Amino acid sequence: MPKIKIDKPKCKGCYLCVVNCPKGLIKISGDMNIKGVKAAFFSRSGKCTGCAMCAVICPECIIEVYDT
């Protein structure tokens, strides 16, 4: 099943990935990262399709999509 990995310390908290995941699998963390923003994380609450929309939309290029 496809999964994603977000490099959370580098996330700037723009949430573009959050609003663009068609499955709603990316959420906002309650904790601050090293940049002082609430970073995005992969919630694993449903089925990732591997569409890579999140990776394409991320302006920081910190999301990797991979299959396991």
Binding site for ligand SF4 (CB under 6 A): 2, 4, 6, 11-17, 21-23, 25-26, 40, 48-54, 57-58, 60, 62-63, 65
- Report in angstroms how near the CB of residue 64 gets to ligand SF4 at its nearest: 10
- Comparing CB distances to ligand SF4, the nearer of 15 and 36 is 15
- What residue ranges in 1-68 does DSSP mark as E strands? 2-6, 26-32, 38-42, 63-67
- Report in angstroms how near the CB of residue 30 gets to ligand SF4 at its nearest: 14
Q: Max CA-CA distance within the chain?
A: 32
For 49, residues 6+ apart whose C-beta sits below 8 A from its C-beta are: 2, 22, 23
